[in-house]
Chain A
């Protein structure tokens, strides 16, 4: 039980300041905050950036980096005498292979520059466009009032860009209908889905779209409090945001914008795990209901949006909902698609929602080699065969194909890739990133990954005897989305590429 005076929200940051979790650092942070030592210890041990003191080179273990030789690179760095830690996707798939130096500086080994779509007025985010410091949409939104803005959001058809695809206006409506007046706006910038790096580019190139979107949300739901939760590995992005907040001081004077850095836990991209982390706890997802709009940060009504979702809002306010809606093809709006893997110019391309893989790859300079498979929306979406190259890349079509749009982190794999190996890389990710709270996910991710690994070693498909049942239970029984889809890389690969899982 916490003392009334305890200051739990600071403990993760303080632990980092002390160089990570040690008995001494935990004791010191306990004295500083009044939080019990065990709670600090257990919280710190959850987060990979602080759970082991000391410095080391972090080599990305993500799908794209693996395809481009992360194992070999890690071996070389180790041989050079440095300590190496293999870490989950660093969100630099277009620049694969990616590492973080001992000083947490990004070092990439194939490419240095990110490709983006050219500037255009018919893009909601418009990464290459001019930065607008006017915050005119905020002023306009204030004049319009909450109901009118929400109406435009509704017309726009904007869906949550973090992966769920839930119509954004529902959350706003729910928020303003709460009796409780202490409310929060939280921006989910914990971009960590393998294959995904669009929020990274948004924060680097158009941070004011995001900040203005947050300001509009805060102004309309009636709060000063804005929190931005950004993954700890995004060091440059944090710096860019800090500069942007400083640049917009005048426009943001009605708001307290707080940047909170994550410390190495993919699950904190799940909105309730994010809230736990904001509160200085282990990032374990909460049971829903209650939903954050009702009981979120500090148990108060909270509006949480992904970076891209909130960054669309100023354009919608500015041009109207219909304009945004019409930017899409099969579904509403323009969409940031991340593409990496076996394509010539990996990058972030903003295209009408519903383009096909072929159209996207055309933007990205064409395929490298003979394409075999693609992962349409991050690790959570599993794999689809290249025969689906003409499927509209939208929420509905991909769901119908048994996959998902997710974060639109598309990875193309050509026929040099063994799909069992590709599945292994993705399964490892989920095993490592499972929070461990519920058994279907904690044990299921271990079981599934081990059975696939055993197949790779022995070539005997009998190892898959129970994987379908276990995958079923993971989907049925897990608390949150991670466990629900964590077997997807294997089940989808086996479904679409049976020849890769025969006796061998």
Chain B
């Protein structure tokens, strides 16, 4: 990516670099090229055919996601030929897709980019083909649901599983109209190498993959904006979008690829393990151990006083260094700051630490 040259994109002269694809060049311009099977995290597949463009000197239309530009190349992304191509292609997709009453690909809890594309072309109302794609009806994994009726076989999920997550739990299977996404032996994802990262759902453009825990699209329902936060598990620091409905956390997604350090990716814990937040086992009240040796409900005033009294009593009797403060690498920076300040400023001891090694 060193040598720079220029090409013509829809008649405009634009800069390009050696090895770049039409997509990479177009990304720096206003030119938008539709696509379904492309994800920047994956090698271009050129399989959905949505992104075909005209390349001067080429008899055939070529996929913009994969076509590598060379100096002075002329690329056309809008023409009568491309318009007709898109019209018939989208209509073919519709002939092989579950449609709503308006005759458009159905909306799903995970969106449906095909639906948006189909809105841009006249409907041909092609007779549906009944592609006999198999699903995994007996897959009892708790998180990931596959609906073959909504699958366009773009293979983003299988390529993500191979190229990004590298666990190869799912695969394109069968062929022709029977092509579908399967696990070995059509087993439940739980019984495969799947690590339940849910990246397949994230990359799926049509909602053929959705979250079992959160099948509904909140944005569609006028739900609140997602709250951007940081994952509370390991030390990578993935950014999360916390989706909230009625003061309940109902779904977690990653920011778009390219935005944050996790590049659109999450693991099983970050994406799915949020049931604990609203779990009935949460401690909801301060508790003080009574004479009977049991913990009893208390008010905040009582509990704070009991805490302060207990600590001060030991300090007064045995000196400040008889106290130990165990802070938490699970809590925020501010809280750790306050814990060490409590230890040092309020009690005069440096006996403050946390699980630093881990």
Contacts and interface: CB of A to CB of B under 8 A. Distances in A.
Contact of A265 (B84, B173, B175): B175
Interface string B137-181: 000000000000000110000100111001111111111111100
Interface string B55-97: 0000011010010100000000000010011001100110110
Nearest to A287: B46
Interface stretch (B182-190, B308-316, B318-326): B182-190
Contact of B92 (A436, A473, A479): A473
Nearest to B68: A289
B119 to A, nearest CB: 18
Contacts of B124: 466, 469
A444 B124 CA distance: 14
Given A42-B182, A443-B93, A477 B61 contact: yes
Interface in A3-30: 22-23, 26-27, 30
B182 to A, nearest CB: 7
Interface stretch (B24-32, B125-133, B224-232): B125-133
A450 B88 CA distance: 17
B162 A1 contact: yes
A39 B172 CA distance: 8
Nearest to A37: B184
B92 A41 contact: no
B163 A1 contact: yes
B114 to A, nearest CB: 10
Most buried by B among A45, A478, A479: A45
Contacts, number: 158
Grouping DSSP codes into helix (H, G, I), strand (E, B) and loop, the A interface class, with mixed when no group exceeds half, is helix
B14 interface: no
B201 interface: no
B303 interface: no
Nearest to B50: A439
Interface centre among A287, A439, A445, by most B CB within 10 Å?
A439
A385 to B, nearest CB: 28
Interface in A412-447: 431-440, 442-447
A470 B92 contact: yes
A414 B220 CA distance: 61
B126 A447 contact: yes
Contacts of A436: 153, 172, 174-179
A43 B179 CA distance: 11
Contacts of A478: 49
Contact of B184 (A41, A439, A440): A41
B47 interface: yes
A471 to B, nearest CB: 10
Nearest to A265: B175
B60 A45 contact: no
A476 interface: yes
A42 B171 contact: yes
A473 B158 CA distance: 26
Given A287-B63, A473-B89, A37 B192 contact: yes
Interface in A205-221: none
A51 interface: yes
Given A45-B174, A46-B175, A435-B175, A447 B95 contact: yes
B95 to A, nearest CB: 6
B22 interface: no
A479 B61 contact: no
Contacts of A447: 92, 95, 126-127, 129
Contact of B171 (A22, A41, A435, A443): A41
A36 interface: yes
B42 to A, nearest CB: 12
A27 B191 CA distance: 13
Contacts of B89: 439-440, 473, 477
Contacts of A433: 176
B48 interface: yes
Given A439-B92, A479-B47, A1 B178 contact: no
Nearest to B165: A1
A42 B177 contact: no
Contacts of B179: 435-437, 442
A60 interface: no
Given A265-B175, A287-B46, A438-B47, A38 B169 contact: yes
Contacts of B84: 469, 472-473
B46 A479 contact: yes
A451 interface: yes
A274 B117 CA distance: 34
A389 B89 CA distance: 37
A450 B127 contact: yes
B95 A443 contact: yes
A398 interface: no
A38 B63 contact: no
Given A36-B193, A466-B124, A440 B175 contact: no
A192 interface: no
B171 A437 contact: no
A442 B177 contact: yes
A429 B50 CA distance: 26
B127 A41 contact: no
A1 B88 CA distance: 35
Contact of B173 (A42, A443, A469, A470): A42
A36 B168 contact: yes
Interface string A177-217: 00000000000000000000000000000000000000000
A116 interface: no
Contacts of A454: 127
Interface string A39-65: 111110110000100000000000000
A335 interface: no
B182 A443 contact: no
Most central of B66, B163, B170, B185 by chain A CB within 10 Å:
B185
A1 B166 contact: yes
Interface string B199-223: 0000000000000000000000000
A287 B92 contact: no
A438 to B, nearest CB: 5
Interface string A156-191: 000000000000000000000000000000000000
Given A38-B169, A445-B177, 13 more contacts: A22-B185, A37-B185, A38-B171, A38-B193, A42-B158, A46-B173, A282-B175, A434-B177, A444-B92, A447-B92, A447-B127, A451-B127, A469-B124
Interface of A: 1, 22-23, 26-27, 30, 36-43, 45-46, 51, 265, 282, 287, 289, 431-440, 442-447, 450-451, 454, 466, 469-470, 472-473, 476-479
22 contacts: A1-B163, A37-B192, A38-B171, A38-B192, A40-B184, A41-B182, A46-B175, A287-B63, A435-B179, A436-B174, A439-B96, A440-B92, A442-B153, A442-B176, A443-B131, A445-B176, A446-B177, A447-B129, A451-B127, A469-B84, A469-B88, A476-B81
